Structure 1
């Protein structure tokens, strides 16, 4: 399984730290040329490699860590998303009417037709996401939601490999609404820093 993070701002870098901590190979890309990202990527760890967007999108699993509306530009980069898994780590405070009354993840999912789509890694601030998820003998919780149960399993496995405790919340219309911003309100679980003990 190959992984890429698209977007190398605070969230993208936080996730790159999580991969580096476990020595899991990951490609990073953004609108900037790969040469501009390379020093920062290398500084995070040797398993973090900057590539062009085109090359990054060859990965099996792609984590979206771009500003919300930029997902549309990423979606145009490939003619088909069949066989890919998209992890949506974005948030938006766009008015509900701009999203047709849907959770933001449902809007993003429509742009990546054919992909396995999972919402996760969006509800923790970047500094918390970058920190070691092992906390006082437990593991920091991440919530997953998806309309594709087959996509949830490998993403939950990845979350565990990164040291998190994944909890599935069901489909996007239910679980997605619990963990993401909508309009000018914050969802019930967003920014809750929860730890699961064994």
Structure 2
């Protein structure tokens, strides 16, 4: 797949590197195109870099991998996104140690869908630390990736990308359900930072298999 990543931070660069190693074609986007090109060169695998608009035109799937504070502007800079698959990996919560974490309504994904007119928005990759993306096997268990969205074709592609990362992918239904899975990011932050569990933790959905 041709994957465009909006953002060159830890999340975007880590996802891009893993997917490039899996044979996907990667393009990084940044407000500073030279920064994106430098990152692409460091990764290899014929990855490239450019502007947000260039990335939007390039990708079959676009990953929104920027801080929530920059999400709306990044989407605006990307230009025409009609028909594009956008994976919203943002979280409205930040890992601050002081003060309570607060849920937001409507969901971040709903806002992204409103800003990215005509795009197929899928919520995913927002409930795990970047440090764990290269090691999603916890003993005999794989970390779960919850995804939701309204388009089956888009979810199918995002599911494959999740499998390529090494997740056990769980379809959590329509994009409306982003309001249910986004708070998992706040729980992750609470456990990792405030409860001192560290960032190498993940969620797992356990299913009891029926006896034959």
- Show structure 2 runs of 5+ residues with no match: 95-101, 193-200, 207-212
Check 1:15–1:78 CA distance in 2 against 1; reply closer, same or farther (3 A cut).
closer
CA distance in 1, matches of 2:149, 2:23: 27
Higher RCO (Cα < 8 Å, 6 or more apart)? 1
CA contact (8 A) 1:4 1:57 kept: yes
CA contact (8 A) 1:102 1:173 kept: no
Classify the secondary structure of the residue corresponding to 1:5. Answer: strand
CA contact (8 A) 1:135 1:195 kept: no
CA distance in 2, matches of 1:65, 1:167: 20
Classify the secondary structure of the residue corresponding to 1:76. Answer: helix
CA contact (8 A) 2:2 2:24 kept: no
Structure 1 residue aligned with 2:81:
81
1:114 aligns to 2:123 (yes or no): no
Spell out the pairing of 1:135-174 with structure 2 (5 A cutoff): 135-136=138-139, 138-174=141-177
Spell out the pairing of 1:34-183 with structure 2 (5 A cutoff): 35-58=34-57, 59-93=59-93, 101-129=105-133, 131-136=134-139, 138-174=141-177, 176-181=178-183
1:46 Cα deviation after fit:
2.2
Structure 1 residue aligned with 2:23:
23
TM-score, with structure 1 as normaliser: 0.80
Tell me the matched-pair count. Answer: 190
CA contact (8 A) 2:146 2:171 kept: yes
**CA displacement 1:102-159 (0-9 Å, x = unmatched):** 1221111211121111000111111112x14345455332110113333211111222
Check 1:189–1:159 CA distance in 2 against 1; reply closer, same or farther (3 A cut).
farther
**CA displacement 1:72-128 (0-9 Å, x = unmatched):** 1122235532220000011113965xx5x2122111121112111100011111111
CA contact (8 A) 2:127 2:188 kept: no
Check 1:169–1:79 CA distance in 2 against 1; reply closer, same or farther (3 A cut).
same
Structural RMSD (CA):
3.0
